[in-house]
Every structure is written in structure tokens, then in C-alpha cells.
Structure 1
Amino acid sequence: MAISDIPVPLRLKPSRHFPFLARHPWVHAHALAELGDDLDCGQVVDLLDFEGNWVARGVINPKSRLRIRLYTFDANIDINESLWRSRIDAAIARRRLTGPFDPEGAERAIFSESDLMSGLIVDRYADCLGVQFTAGAMLRWQGAILDHLRTALSARSVMVRMDEKTSKHEGVEPQGQWLEGANADGPVLYTQNGLQLAVDLHEGQKTGGYLDQRLNHLAAAQYMSGRNVLDVCCYNGGFGLLALKHGAASVTGIDSSAPALEQAKLSIARNGLDGEAFGQSSFRMADCFAELKKLGEEAQSFDAVILDPPRFAGNRHQVDTALRAYRRLNSMAVDLLPPGGVLVTCSCSGRVSRTDFLNMLLDVGRRRRRDLIMLENRGPAPDHPIAISCPETDYLKCVIAQVE
């Protein structure tokens, strides 16, 4: 049976409407007086306060703890294919505010809540798209959304993914298939920061790569000339490759993923960074904590250490554990740096606030009796905009500091 286009009203518990008056897009089940358990996934709902006043319009997934995602706070706007097309067009136009379209480049074209399309992430690599649905309810309009993305971004291939963990939380089948395209099985080549890079949209992380760090890669590289650099959690070499290009004496990359390290080595060869004009590079597969501990025990020293670990806090209950992990990682990194060394340290844990992260670094300096002088306090590239009404979108921290 087809899902009705007529919104179904659902009420909130008393005094639970205030976040949504501020246009926050997530309604968890515990905020609802009426759970809507009998509704279909993808049913449009009208969110009402406890007194019955209209608040917002969204889409429900009865199998998810994030029960309703809100998409409009105007009762005159319907949620349908036309809305998704207009939101996609607006997101693409937003990217053009910061630069012209680069057909060989890469960018995040749709960033979920920040582009008013909660549950959809789209990365463009040249003429290929990596699409990640994180909301089961959005799959109702999957065909229309993908058709418009292909047209609007002139894409020859589209990869749709929903990882196993997200699928379980959303109560839907995992996604992972090429919907359209020729010879899309191999790596996709694209340009970034003057380098030719490759991404594996089948097996790579999330939608393929980490585009949010690209301007941080470039900013950090300005400090690396003549330095021996340790790149921890290097993935496919984003920081290290640019460090070599900008004159680093050597780069040592550490990561736990063998395929990522292989991509880093291939990128060095592809861009001629292994020639006599560039510093030495080496990569090793290892756990970041174990390897930093080993290097410290061996009394090794580096002129710069880069830390770009994976997310340590997936929910608010993991924040304290995450901060302890960041403190340990940064403490071991500081121990490897002589006075005047450069520390580039990152966190992609949205639950860890920028204030928490800086306080963690303050504690590292206190415990290690070292001064950390912050040179730059950075966030993601502008194609990863921040929705003021959804603080969770302000997730990426990148601090460049000198350690005395």
C-alpha cells in the first residue's frame, strides 16, 4: 500500500517543543507523547506541541530512536519530490558562493542538516558521486533524489551506501550498489590542492574520502618545510602528501588500514613526490596508540606531528572516554616534539565541543610541563557548512600549535 501524502499529526510531551521552535531538526522518541509506532517509515507528519499548536513538518521512522526528522517550519511547504529538488539545487548553489565549479575536483555537495536535508550526504569526485543515506525515511524518495543529483551534477556514476551500523539503527536494509555508470569498479581520480588523488567509492570510508580536511591539509603544509613529519592516522596521506609537496624533509605515515596506506603510496608515485626534489616518505601499518608509545620508548623525535584520528565519541555517553583518548594521544605526540616543534591535532567527534578539545590540550600542556601556543584554530572546508540551529554540525576541530 502506498504511503499517504497527507501529514499525520503527532504531539510532543509538555514543554518539549522549545528546541523545535529554534528549528532543531531531530525529534527523539522520548520527546513524543504520541510515538506513531503504527505509521509507515517515510510518512510525513506534522509535529504539534502538547496543546495542539503546529510546530514543524517532518518524516517519521518508527524503527529509529531519532523518530522524526524535521524539514520545514512553514506549514505552507509540502514535503515531496519538488522540495528535495529545490533543496539539492540550493545546496549546489551554496557551494558556488565560495568558488566556481571544478569538473576535475571534489566537494561535499549535500551535507545533511546543514543543507536542510537531514539524513543525506553527497560527495562529488570529478564526475562520480558517493551518496550516503543516514535516514531510513529518506529512502522513500531515493529514486527522485538520485535522478536529480545525476542531472544537476552531470554525474556518470553514483554509488549509494548505508553502512551496517546505520542500517541497524534505522531498521532498513544496507545500501551499496552502483546505480548507473561505465567502468565504475576502479578508483576514481580527482584533483585537490594541486594533487591528483584517487578514491575508492566501493570500499573507502563513508562516501569515499575526507573532503572536510582539504583546506586544513593546505594550511598545515605551510608549516612543514624542512621538517621531519610524523603523520598519525594518515589514512590515504592527505596531510603527508601536501607536506612533501611543500618541502618537508621526510614524512612517516601511520595508519591501521592497509588499503589506505597503499593508496597513499600510489598517490606519492602518481604525483611524482618520490623524486629527488622531495623528501623521503615511508608508511607503516600500526595502531596509533601502540606506535606512539613505541616511538616514545625509543626516544624518537620529530619536528612536526599530525594527529587526525577517527571519531572517538559516537554519543554523549562516550565523551569522557573520548577526551581521555585525545589526552593520551596528544600527550604522546608532545613527547616526540622538541621545543619549537609543530603539533597539528584534530577531532571529528561532534559530541566533543571545541571548548572541551581546547581544555584537553590545556591539560596536556600542564601535565607535560610544555607550552602549547596555538597558531591556528580551524574547522572544516566551507562545503561542510554549519547549521546554527543544529550545533552537532560543528564537529571538526583542527588546531595548529607550536610546542615549547
Structure 2
Amino acid sequence: MTPQVVLKASRARTFATRHPWVLDASIERIVGEPADGDEVEVLSDKGKFIGRGLYNGHSRIRVRLYSGRPDEPLDVAFWRARLESAVGLRRLLGFDEPQGACRLVFSEGDGLSGLIVDRYAGWLVVQLTALAMQKRLSLLAPVLAEVVQPRGIVFRTDRIMARAEGMEVREGLAWGEPPPPRIPIVDGGLHLEVDLAEGQKTGIYLDQRENRRAAAKYMAGRRVLDMFCYQGGFSLAARAWGQAAECLGYDSSDKAIAEARAAACRNGFSELRFETGEAFQTLQQLYDQGQRFGAVVLDPPKFARGRKSLEEALRAYHWLNRLGMSVLEPEGILVTCSCSGLVTRQDFFNVLVGAAHQAGRDVQVLEQRGASPDHPVALNCPESEYLKCFICRVH
């Protein structure tokens, strides 16, 4: 008999929209003795079937739900169908260029909670954020290989999620041919290189691809300041697609700055400048020096990693955007982002309202954007809408 997880009476309504996470605080009792990674059925307090998922006694997310059908086991055929659906969406989007890159599987956004798969040319990078998925890697890798037909599949484990999930931190080759130290990819005519072992996330930030294009169209003839520039994506786009007059990028990582400089030279934009610098301190110094810019890009890392840090994160976003506005010329363009899932779109909007007031600037919001469409938002999991990107004109 499949073990059963019975919900508290007060929590069963939460799953009317089929949210994929069953938290420990929602559980009344467990019938049977599921091991970590085992398949379980989730029932209401009245015994009504709610969903089928995978159990983890180490995690606050005690069960990750994958199916709402009582007759659908989570077997090889199930995982194959989900993966084929996810890959089919990227083909529909046109994100299947042989030398390109895209997110093939976006966890909850594709009904595969705890599994992220990115493609870089001929290689796949699997990022595991759930113990149950780590336990099924030997099943999933051959299915991915069959559906996508890559040259090789490597896997990485998010260290923060590993602690939360009770996972072993493991990385390496899961299938096929090991990748070279650097994989060349092409993004809209820009030639980039990806380090699958040491790069951020699974290699580069794929979620901002469409936002870089959107922002570039406002950059013509402007002097651009690119904060938290990483490998210089917004700067390269501003110069290549937007004909920006000048770009200056800062990042706190020496390695990222070296990558950005190399990418600029590789694409024939050696005039782009990239320097090491802490964002808040650098913005204050630029303001004190009287430097002003026609456009400012603010793309910081996640500030809120838990609810306890949310208020501190909102204050940090406020101060960062206030500083960003302060170094903008009148009628300058502000491209400002938050990738903190706990910060809602309304929260971020309110931050900008407060920052504009404190900076004494009038601001028009021109575009409110999210992640690239290969990061789909699942309506049953609002947390899958994590990235906010506002393009504004600042008077």
C-alpha cells in the first residue's frame, strides 16, 4: 500500500488550487512509514484524494506534489511525459538553436518541482533542489538523453537547498561525454562562453535574456552604468543591440569582471569598461564625484533568502534604487530588477515609489517584465514568478 499523508482540516482548502508544496505544518498524520524520496498519496482530513507526490522527512516541504490523478503512478512513463512536454514548449518558443542556450525544465513552472535543466549548445546541466529528484537522477538522466539527445549531461546541487533538503552535495557527469572547460554559445549574434563547473546558477543568467533585449532599445547614445554586471550581459546588449555610447560595469567578483572583459573583446567591443567594486559603495562614490549616466542597470543577487530577512531585503532594495536614481541624468533610463521570490511585484513597486520620493525624482514605469518565457510561471505556484524587471524613465 502506498503511504498516505493526511492533512489537517484547516489546511486542506489550501490545495484546492493544487499548490505543489505540502509543508510540515499542514500535516495531521502519516499512514505508513515512507522513506525519504518515496511516493506518497496526500489526502484531506476526510480521506479525499488530493495528489500524489514524493516525501522528504528532512525538509520543511514534506511532500512535493506532481500529479492530481489517483490512477497516475510516478513511474518512468510519467517523468518521460513531463520532460517531453517541457522540451516541447522550448521548441515552440524557438529556443532550440543548436549553438544556443535555454532553460529546458523550470522546476514548478514545468510541474517538475525540484528539477532544473539548462541546455548550453550540446550539453545539459541538471540542477537538483529536492532530495527526491536527486534520488531519481539515474532514472531521469537516460530519459533526458533520449528526449533531447545531448552530447553529455552534468549535474549540480544547490548548496543552500542541499542543507534544507538533507541532500548530499554531489556534482559531476551523469551521462555521456564530459563537457570542455568552456562551452561557446551564441545569443542573438553575441558570442559567449560558459563554464559549467564554476559559473553562476547552471552557467549564466538565462532568465534575463529577453530583458536585456528590451532594455537595449532604450540605450541609444546613452552612457550606461551596469551594476552587478556579472559577465556584462546588459552592457553587451546595450552596445550591440542598442548602440549605447559608453558602458561601465561593476561587479564585486574579480572572476566575473575578467569574464566580462573577455566577452567584450570576443565580440569586438573592447571599449566597454568593467571594474571590480561593491555596488552600494561604488554608487555613492560615483554620486559624490558628480558622475551622471543616461541609463543605470541594477541587477542584484537575491537579497531575501528567507522570510526573516525580508524587511532587511526591502530596505536594501530601497537604498540601492535611491542611489541608482541619484546618478541618473534627467529623463534617464532605470532598469531595476529583483530575483527574490519572497519580494512580490507589488512589494518591489512600493520600494520604487519610496526610493523615488526620497531621491526627489519623478519616475515613469515604461515596462514591467519577468523572466524569459523558458521560465514559465505556474498559476498553482505563485512562487514560480520570482523575477521582477522594471524599465523606468526618471525625470
* TM-score interval, smaller chain: over 0.9
Give the corresponding residue for 1:263.
259
How much does 1:38 deviate?
4.6
How much does 1:51 deviate?
1.8
1:297 aligns with 2:288: yes
Give the corresponding residue for 1:330.
321
Identify which of 276, 281, 286 aligns with 1:285: 276
Q: Cα deviation per residue 1:329-378 (whole Å; 9 max; x = unaligned)?
A: 00001110111111000011111111111111111111112111111111
Is the Cα–Cα contact under 8 Å of residues 250 and 279 in structure 2 kept in the other structure? Answer: yes
State the AA in 1 paired with 2:281. A
Q: Aligned partners of 1:395 and 1:288: how far apart in 2?
A: 22
- SS state at 2:70 partner: coil
1:132 aligns with 2:124: no
- Please give the residue correspondences for 1:188-337 in structure 2 after superposition, counting only pairs within 5 Å: 188-245=183-240, 246-274=242-270, 280-337=271-328
Is the Cα–Cα contact under 8 Å of residues 20 and 56 in structure 1 kept in the other structure? Answer: no
- SS state at 2:364 partner: strand
Q: Normalization by structure 1: what TM-score?
A: 0.94
Q: Aligned partners of 1:282 and 1:351: how far apart in 2?
A: 33
Give the corresponding residue for 1:3.
none
Is the Cα–Cα contact under 8 Å of residues 184 and 192 in structure 2 kept in the other structure? Answer: yes
1:398 aligns with 2:389: yes
State the AA in 2 paired with 1:377. Q
State the AA in 2 paired with 1:136. L
Unaligned runs of 5+ in 1: 1-5, 275-279
Identify which of 38, 43, 68 aligns with 1:43: 38
Give the corresponding residue for 1:277.
none
Q: Aligned partners of 2:177 and 2:132: how far apart in 1?
A: 29
1:371 aligns with 2:362: yes
1:174 aligns with 2:187: no
State the AA in 2 paired with 1:225. A
Is the Cα–Cα contact under 8 Å of residues 138 and 174 in structure 2 kept in the other structure? Answer: no
Q: Aligned partners of 1:368 and 1:327: how far apart in 2?
A: 10
- Residues 167/100 of structure 1: CA separation in 2 closer, same or farther (3 Å cut): closer
Q: Aligned partners of 1:100 and 1:208: how far apart in 2?
A: 17
Percent of aligned pairs sharing the same letter = 43
Identify which of 65, 86, 94 aligns with 1:91: 86
Q: Aligned partners of 2:8 and 2:95: how far apart in 1?
A: 47
Q: Cα deviation per residue 1:94-139 (whole Å; 9 max; x = unaligned)?
A: 1222226211111100000011100000010111111101000112
Unaligned runs of 5+ in 2: none
* Structure 1, 346-355 or 181-190: larger mean CA deviation: 181-190
Is the Cα–Cα contact under 8 Å of residues 38 and 62 in structure 1 kept in the other structure? Answer: no
Q: Cα deviation per residue 1:200-238 (whole Å; 9 max; x = unaligned)?
A: 110111211111100100111111111111100001111
Runs of 4+ in structure 1 deviating by more than 6 angstroms, as ranges, are: none
Q: Normalization by structure 2: what TM-score?
A: 0.97
How much does 1:183 deviate?
5.6
- Residues 182/8 of structure 1: CA separation in 2 closer, same or farther (3 Å cut): closer
Q: Aligned partners of 2:226 and 2:376: how far apart in 1?
A: 26
- Residues 35/76 of structure 1: CA separation in 2 closer, same or farther (3 Å cut): closer
* Structure 1, 181-190 or 224-233: larger mean CA deviation: 181-190
Number of equivalences: 394
Give the corresponding residue for 2:60.
65
Is the Cα–Cα contact under 8 Å of residues 193 and 214 in structure 1 kept in the other structure? Answer: no
Root mean square deviation, CA, Å: 1.4
Give the corresponding residue for 2:20.
25
Q: Cα deviation per residue 1:267-304 (whole Å; 9 max; x = unaligned)?
A: 11111122xxxxx3111112111111111222211111
